[in-house]
Structure 1
Amino acid sequence: MEFVILAVVIAVVVLGGLSGLVLARRRKGHAAPPAPKPDALAPPAEPQVGEDAEVPRDTPKRTVESVDLPDAGTVTVLEPEIPGVPETLPPPAIEVPEPTAGRLVRLRSRLSRSQNTLGQGLLSLLSREHLDEDTWEEIEDTLLTADVGVAPTQELVERLRTRVKVLGTRTPAELRGLLREELVHLIGTDADRSLHTHSHEERPAVVMVVGVNGTGKTTTTGKLARVLVADGRSVVLGAADTFRAAAADQLQTWGERVGARTVRGPEGGDPASVAFDAVKEGIAEGADTVLVDTAGRLHTKTGLMDELGKVKRVVEKHGPVDEVLLVLDATTGQNGLVQARVFAEVVDITGIVLTKLDGTAKGGIVVAVQRELGVPVKLVGLGEGPDDLAPFEPGAFVDALIGE
């Protein structure tokens, strides 16, 4: 019995070995059938129409002789594109600024906020039936709130009290005329408010524009160029504000609008050198006026103020500077007087430019800054438009304050 079992096991082992050998030979001698191609598995393509339709296989092929060539006049030759070479931009259109004569009258509505506080407030108080001490104190407060200043306020109130007492009966028209005369007298009509921008025999007039950061100095320089061009002057701009990023670009944009050339130097370069070169170019071109935009330096930085004096001395190697305009922000009020005082100690200020006068109820700063420096206000900024810089006219300014 044991012999039979052993024989069966041996037989099973032998048969298993033989079957494995047969399978191995079959795998070695015969490769697996190739996988079917994807196209063979895909469903038949649907018929296409329009631009997606395929060309039928039986379509006859076109030879060179059968192709119609276009006429020579209809062939468009495309210029090859050269990478890295920008397209040539057309020069900017030259704008024609509006004339400066009567510009302040046209911008009268911009003084509406100052009008409500100063002019109309004073007229309302003076129209009261009984002008007692409390009313006169209110008149003083109105003037002080409008930044007229202490001394000018006291002077104006005394004159008003005297004339109202003499006048007796006060009609609205009489009060308006009285107030207009006194405000014009307070501002002053004797000062020379003209801009000295006429060229000399061998060189242009030179105008330096100075001021602290944030007063709109570079913008004012650009607008002043428009004022001069509108009055028939040829202008060269000097971008001597080399410390503020993009200041030269900003000034050049203003100049390009009216056809004025801008002389500039490297960023962070010597401002005095740029100013000197600007005047030199103005002489070479025979320009009427050179406008030099200086850096918007803080009045508390003594070293920077000394540098401003250096710019003026270097420019004067070509000849005297005709105008030094100090740009003041009307919204700063009495703080602007501190700035004005320090700048006047460094360079001889010849005129004041008051910017942002449309956005403030402190129109009296015109009086205060003139009294502080003994220098007239020559230009006022009454908006953000390119032609919103106007020559200052006391009569038109007071008319705007007190209304019709």
Structure 2
Amino acid sequence: MTEYLLIALALLGVLILGGIGLVVPRLRRRPEPPLPKTEVDTRAEEDLAGPPVQAPEAELSTGILVEPPVVEAPAPVLEVPEPTAGRLVRLRSRLSRSQNVFGKSLLGLLSRDHLDEDTWEEIEDSLITADVGVDATRDIVDRLRERTRVLGTRSGSELRALLAAELVNALDPTLDRSLRTAPKEGVPAVVLVVGVNGAGKTTTCGKIARVLVADGRSVLLGAADTFRAAAADQLETWGGRVGAETVRGPEAADPASVAFDAVKRGIDTGVDTVLIDTAGRLQNKIGLMDELGKVKRVVEKHGPIDETLLILDATTGQNGLEQARVFTEVVNVTGVVLSKLDGTAKGGIVIAVQRKLGIPVKLVGLGEGKDDLAPFDPAQFVDALLGTEPLARDA
């Protein structure tokens, strides 16, 4: 009997201990009060659903889902460059500094009652100060002295006409100033643009593209200045304004390779003119000048280059002549573009370039506007330099 009692007590103890073991863990694992349902749902939607999506609208009468219309971005509006005919006449007021030298100073000297040796020396000094150059100045003054003596010219209008004739003659109006930009036998004309650092070359190159488009040419640009990523971006911006494609390569790519690809692309797309912008370089850096020669040779695998335009900063004066000479030796420059001729520039540099190099000035930059690049005409240019100031002898 005692044994049964002990067994019963043992079983009771086991049951008590088991009950305690089940209750205690539940007490330890009591959960925290649940969050409000709306907060839990909101977090779940944010984590799983992502940003809200506009559901398609349903047509009420049929219940058919109607997709919203696709809105296309408007095409960029292409600019229409200002016609090049007559630009030089319209921009004549930009030659303010040169007009002061030629129109007021020279004509004022010529209007004196007596043209003695001192007066002719002052005329020489004025021309040299205007960057005409010593040799050209002597020729102009000698011819003026002879003509005024022989013709007995006394009126202001006659003297102005004589001076204008001598300046036009010094600019050699017989030189061909046309731009060779027409395609031939299915191959686009190729225009290579070269120049020193700081001459405004890439900007002027973009303006040349506008000149070509204004004259009815389709243009493709080659960004062969691979040393500055900003140069390619800038050129692409200029081209995009008039619908011209730009071929460019990665930064520090071989400039000759980019130029070659640009001409090939121009052939494939059938454009009229391929305009290649090269990196600015100093004329005394032999390695860079050799690289420019390589660009020329590689491009000519497609055919001869039609134009090589040298961008000269008109404010550099006589220093620009040495630049032009070296570039001509390397890439056979066929024409000069004088940039920055407005403001502080001296118009006589045009005469100096013609006299020293025999290379025609084909375009002149007369301002910072997009269409302030004008085809050069000697008679119009001289007329703008002399202005319309009446002379005292006409009074």
TM-score of the aligned structures, taking structure 1 as reference length: 0.78
Q: Indicate how the Cα distance of structure 1 residues 298 and 90 shifts in structure 2: closer, same or farther if over 3 A, else same.
A: farther
Output the CA distance in 2 between the equivalents of 1:202 and 1:319: 12
Q: Which runs of 5+ in 1 are unaligned?
A: 1-70, 80-86
* Distance in 2 between residues matched to 1:334 and 1:202, nearest whole Å: 41
Q: Is the CA contact (8 Å cut-off) linking 1:118 and 1:361 kept in structure 2? A: no
1:213: Cα distance to partner? 0.7
| Residues 361/308 of structure 1: CA separation in 2 closer, same or farther (3 Å cut) | closer
Aligned to 2:244: 260
Contact 2:59 2:66 survives alignment (8 Å) = no
Mapped pair 1:316 → 2:300: yes
Q: Offset of 1:175 from its aligned partner?
A: 1.2
Per-residue Cα deviation, 1:232-277 (whole angstroms, up to 9, x for no partner): 1100000000002310000000000000000000011100000000
Measured in 2, the distance between the counterparts of 1:171 and 1:106 equals: 28
Distance 2:145 2:106 in 1: 13
Q: Secondary structure at the match of 1:358?
A: coil
What is residue 219 of structure 1 aligned with on the other side? 203
Aligned residue for 1:359, secondary structure, equals: coil
Q: Is the 8 A contact 2:58 2:66 kept in 1?
A: no
- Secondary structure of 2:121's partner? helix
Larger CA Rg, structure 1 vs 2: 1
How far apart, in 2, do the equivalents of 1:279 and 1:183 lie?
A: 40
Report the alpha carbon displacement of residue 113 of structure 1 after superposing the two structures with TM: 1.5
Corresponding letter in the other structure for 2:343: G
Q: Do the aligned residues in 2 keep the contact of 1:238 with 1:291 (CA within 8 Å)?
A: yes
**How far apart, in 2, do the equivalents of 1:205 and 1:276 lie?**
13
Answer yes or no: is 1:291 the counterpart of 2:291.
no
Aligned to 2:90: 106
Partner of 1:9: none
Q: Which residue, out of 339, 346, 359, partners 1:375?
A: 359
Q: Which residue of 2 aligns with 1:167?
A: 151
- SS across alignment from 1:113: helix
Quote how far apart the aligned CAs of 1:171 are.
Answer: 1.1
Say which of 135, 158, 182 aligns to 1:151: 135
For the Cα contact (< 8 Å) 2:190–2:263, is it kept in 1? yes
The alpha carbon displacement at 1:72 in A equals 4.7
Correspondence 1:142 to 2:94: no
Give 1:332's aligned residue: 316
Q: Report deviation, 1:220.
A: 1.0
Equivalent AA in structure 2 for residue 298 of structure 1: L
Are 2:251 and 1:238 aligned?
no
Does the 8 Å CA contact 1:149/1:368 hold for their aligned counterparts?
yes
2:317 maps to a residue whose letter is: G
Tell me if structure 2 keeps the 8 A contact 1:236–1:260: yes
* Structure 2: segments with no counterpart, 5+ residues: 1-56, 389-395
1:48-87 residue pairs with structure 2 within 5 A? 72=58
CA deviation string 1:130-163 (max 9, x = no partner): 1111111110100000010111000000000011
**Quick one: distance in 2 between partners of 1:78 and 1:372?**
72
- Distance in 2 (CA, whole Å) between partners of 1:306 and 1:379 is 26
Work out whether 1:189 is the aligned partner of 2:173. yes
Q: Does structure 2 retain, via aligned residues, the 8 Å contact 1:115–1:361? A: no
Give me the whole-angstrom Cα distance separating, in 1, the residues matched to 2:276 and 2:161. 42
Q: From 361, 380, 383, give the equivalent of 1:396.
A: 380
Superposition RMSD on alpha carbons, in Å? Answer: 1.9
Alignment partners' CA distance in 2, 1:191 and 1:320: 21
Contact 1:120 1:401 in 2 (8 A): no
Contact 2:170 2:355 in 1 (8 A): no
Instruction: State the 1:92 CA deviation.
Output: 2.7
Moved more, 216-225 or 324-333: 216-225
Equivalent pairs counted in the alignment come to 327
Residue 193 of structure 2 corresponds to which residue in structure 1? 209
- The residue aligned with 1:305 is 289
